[in-house]
Structure formats: structure tokens, C-alpha cells
Amino acid sequence: SQQGEEDPQALSIQEGENATMNCSYKTSINNLQWYRQNSGRGLVHLILIRSNEREKHSGRLRVTLDTSKKSSSLLITASRAADTASYFCATDTQGAQKLVFGQGTRLTINP
Amino acid sequence: GAVVSQHPSRVICKSGTSVKIECRSLDFQATTMFWYRQFPKQSLMLMATSNEGSKATYEQGVEKDKFLINHASLTLSTLTVTSAHPEDSSFYICSATDRSNQPQHFGDGTRLSIL
């Protein structure tokens, strides 16, 4: 079952603007990850944040995690046309190997 | 980085055909592989988890006799869709990991179309 809810479902912005996507989940987690999927392709891992972390950066990406609200956000700064893709959050729980994916946000960067 | 190769990328075949999809880890030993199904504009739905040398664990609602999974080595897992029908048409994606709770590395998916 999919426990992640992502919001917005679709986001369209101008190149150079920042894009923020949110993810909420229902159960306690061990890690939360963000993945990107270009149309018709597999997923590319972007960043992993552990349950005891609150914020993490990687290049133009910033991820926050609020376990009290069971939510996470992904911020992409200075967006580029190449950032156009679907973005998914995925959670795993202690002792479980599998990931549960959110519904995803379709991001479109307009040149 | 870790590379997962999935083959074929696209299959079009007649109803009743069995189709085999391969998932290979090219530069690491995949102790666990996962098979997902994805419908257009939707998220990934986990079908099964496969550990090398043991039987796959299927998610609820996934028919194990319909979707046969073999993970005979640390670098190869296969998914066979037996007697495929049009409703089996979908995008199938595999992923692999070498340790529990580490990032899964995904193949590029297989688009299966059953006529």
C-alpha cells in the first residue's frame, strides 16, 4: 500500500525559480528518500535522510524532515529545464527492506 | 555509482505469451532485488521482494504463479509474466540493493504491451 501523500501532484514553474514539494506519511519510519523519474525511465536516487536528521543538503537540493508531523519537503533551488521530472518520496521502516512510495509530484520547468 | 541494467526495455507481444524480464546489477552484488509495477502517471507499486537464493516474498494481491521471480545469483533476477493478457500491460521496474535500508538502485524499466 502507498502510505505517502505528495503535494502538489503537479507543479509548473519558470526556470530559475525554486520548487518545493511535500511528502507526508502515516507510520514511523527509519529513513525517507527522494527519487526522480524522467518520463519512461527508472528512478534516480537523490537523497536519503534518516529519522534522526532534520535537514540535509546536496547541491541544489535541500530536504527537511519533521517526524512529529510525519512530513518531509524537497526544495530544488535555481531550477533548470533538466529538472523537469516526477519526484517521489519513499519511506522504509526499521527492519524492513522494502520502500513505500508516495504518489509523486510532476514538476515542469518552463524555459 | 551502482548500475542496474534491465532488459528488454520494450516488449510487444500477443495475449497468452510468457515474457521474461531480466534485471542485472553490473558493479555490485545485489543481495536483494525488488520488482515494481507502475501505471501511467501513478506511483510505483511493489510486487515482490527477492533475496538471492530464496523464494520471493510477494505483496498482497500479487499472484505468484502469474509473476514468477527467480533470483539465482547475486547479480541477476528475472521476472516472468506467464500467459500475459492485455491487463498485464504496464511499466515494470526492478531495483537492487546490497544492504538493507540503503538506497535502491533502479533499472530503466520495461514497457510491456500485450495485444
Each residue's pLDDT expressed in tens, for chain A with a length of 111 residues:
335 678 899 999 999 999 999 999 998 999 999 999 999 899 999 999 999 999 999 999 999 999 999 999 999 999 999 999 999 999 988 777 789 999 999 999 999
Q: Are B79 and B21 in contact (CB under 8 A)?
A: yes
Q: What 3-state class would DSSP assign to A82?
A: helix
Q: Are B69 and B35 in contact (CB under 8 A)?
A: yes
Tens-digit pLDDT profile for residues B56-100:
999 999 999 999 999 888 899 999 999 999 999 999 999 999 865
Intra-chain end-to-end CA distance of chain A, in Å: 36
B44 CB neighbours in chain A (<8 A) are: 43, 88, 101
B104 CB neighbours in chain A (<8 A) are: 43, 45, 99
State chain B's mean pLDDT as an integer.
92
Cβ within 8 Å, pair B44-A88: yes
Amino acid letter, residue B110: T
Q: How far is CA B46 from CA A18, B35, B54, in A?
A: 31, 6, 18
In this prediction, residues B5-28 reach a mean pLDDT of 95
Residue B105: pLDDT band with limits 50, 70, 90 = very high
Cβ within 8 Å, pair A41-B109: yes
Q: Note the pLDDT of residue B53.
A: 81
Q: Note the pLDDT of residue A1.
A: 34
- Cα–Cα distance for residue pair A47/A76, rounded to 1 Å: 12
Q: Note the pLDDT of residue B100.
A: 57
